[in-house]
Chains A and B, each alone.
Chain A
Amino acid sequence: MILAFDALLALGLVWCAWRALSVRDLTHAVVQFVVFGLLLALAWARLAAPDIALAEAAIGAGLTGALLLDSLRASNAGAAPSPSGADIAVPTSNLAGAVRLAVWAAAVVVGAALLLAIATLPPPLIDLRAQVAGALGASGVSHAVTAVLLNFRGYDTLLEVVVLLLALLGLLACRGEHDPVATAADAPAEPLARALSRRATPVLTLTAVYVLWAGTTQPGGAFQAAALLAATAVLLHITRIVPAWERLGFARRLGAAAGVLLFLGIAAALLAEGALLRYPPAYAGSLILLIESGLTVSLALILAALFLCQTETQ
């Protein structure tokens, strides 16, 4: 019975994805994608992965969706009217059509091979769950996912936050320094929306801090908290309370990089314990919370900047 629900959800996922990728109108496609993201969050909850569900809803559906819609708005504003959605490449020659057929054929083959591989999986030889459970006590936190993310496989997290900073770097590098930045000279947003977002800000901020704190013992943590804070900033921007960031001043750069620097610094300092990121068992919990706090601030700034630093052209 529960399986029927899961089967429906899985089907819904594939259907939404198909629609997002095939619908002619791009705005419609992005909306479908956001719905896909929310269904995906449900699926993660069904898979006993509440941390991922939170992150997917906030980052995958929320922030990514907002970025996509904003990009659409920017490219539509002032663009020459083009047949919307006529992007499905019409084969101009038999060769192009044959290539498309070949790609679809390859896709079907790979898909079938994947399903077959799934059906014929051998039982796994190693079970890390037992090892995680055994080492959890010495990890400094009591939530398994946080322990893996910040302790056992913390090195992955270190590299990954650099990747996020890198995205900001790339964005800054390719945008024109010479383009005029639009002032918020358009019609002010609805007063109701502005009032609501003003009221919501302290609540969202508090929730983010709670999610960060709770991450040590329950689902939550730095990424989800940062996503919440960034979403707050985006909300304030959309309702014209916070203007776009034309330049990233020193304070914002420092804020965006500080968490990463802190993480790098702690990782290096812990080399004295014999290995990279080797927490002394007595201080593991505090160090992890320290790193997570720094990351929350920095990641929130980076995620917000990914949205607020887009140069607007009139």
Chain B
Amino acid sequence: MSTGLLYAAAGAMLFVLGATALILPLAPLRRVLGFNVMGSGAFLLLVGLAQRDGAADAVPQAMVLTGIVVSVAATALALAIIRRIAALERKAPADD
């Protein structure tokens, strides 16, 4: 069991955990955490499996870098929307 495979397996579990948190009706902030964990899991799986024979592979590493930036973009957007909803509800408490 090489390093790559080990972290890939961890990545698989992280993906499933994160996706579950995203699907279940939890607090929005929790689901944002879930989405980030899910993404990290997918990245670990990508690089871990590509490097399962031990040598570093630049292509999946570059893909993960791209993915991290996309993740932070999505997180920032999600948090902005969540904040805005909270601010609007403070102004006019909704009764739904």
**Which residues on B sit within 8 Å (CB–CB) of A160?**
66, 69-70
Residue in contact with B58 in the complex, picked from A26, A104, A132, CB distance below 8 Å: A132
CA A118 – CA B76 in complex, angstroms?
Answer: 32
Question: A75-99 vs B: 1/0 string, CB under 8 Å?
Answer: 1001110000101110000000000
- Identify the 8 closest CB pairs spanning chains A and B, nearest first: A87-B27, A167-B73, A144-B58, A10-B10, A148-B62, A114-B12, A48-B56, A171-B80
Chain B positions within 8 Å of A89 at CB level: 24-26
Determine the chain B residues whose CB is within 8 A of the CB of A2 once the complex forms: 3
Interface size class, chain A: 35 or more
Task: Please tell me if the beta carbons of A21 and B33 are within 8 angstroms of each other in the complex.
Answer: yes
Contacts of B48 in A (CB 8 A): 47
Could you tell me how many residues of chain B have their Cβ less than 8 Å away from some Cβ of chain A?
Answer: 72
A residues adjacent to B (C-beta < 8 A):
2-3, 6-7, 10-11, 13-14, 17-18, 20-21, 26, 29-30, 33, 36, 40, 43-44, 46-49, 51-52, 55-56, 59-60, 63-64, 67-68, 71-72, 74-75, 78-80, 85, 87-89, 100, 103-104, 107-108, 110-111, 114-115, 118, 121, 128-129, 132, 144-145, 147-149, 152-153, 156-157, 160-161, 163-164, 166-168, 170-171, 174-176, 179, 223, 303, 306, 310-311, 313
A22 to B74, CA, bound (A): 22
B73 to chain A, nearest CB (A): 4
CA separation between A168 and B23, bound complex, in Å? 26
Max chain A CB contacts within 10 Å: which of B4, B48, B66?
B66
Query: What residues of chain A lie closer than 8 Å to B32, measured between beta carbons?
Result: 68
Chain A: minimal CB distance from B36 (Å): 7
Q: Is the CB of B17 within 8 A of A18?
A: yes
Cα–Cα distance between A197 and B30 once the two chains are bound (Å): 31
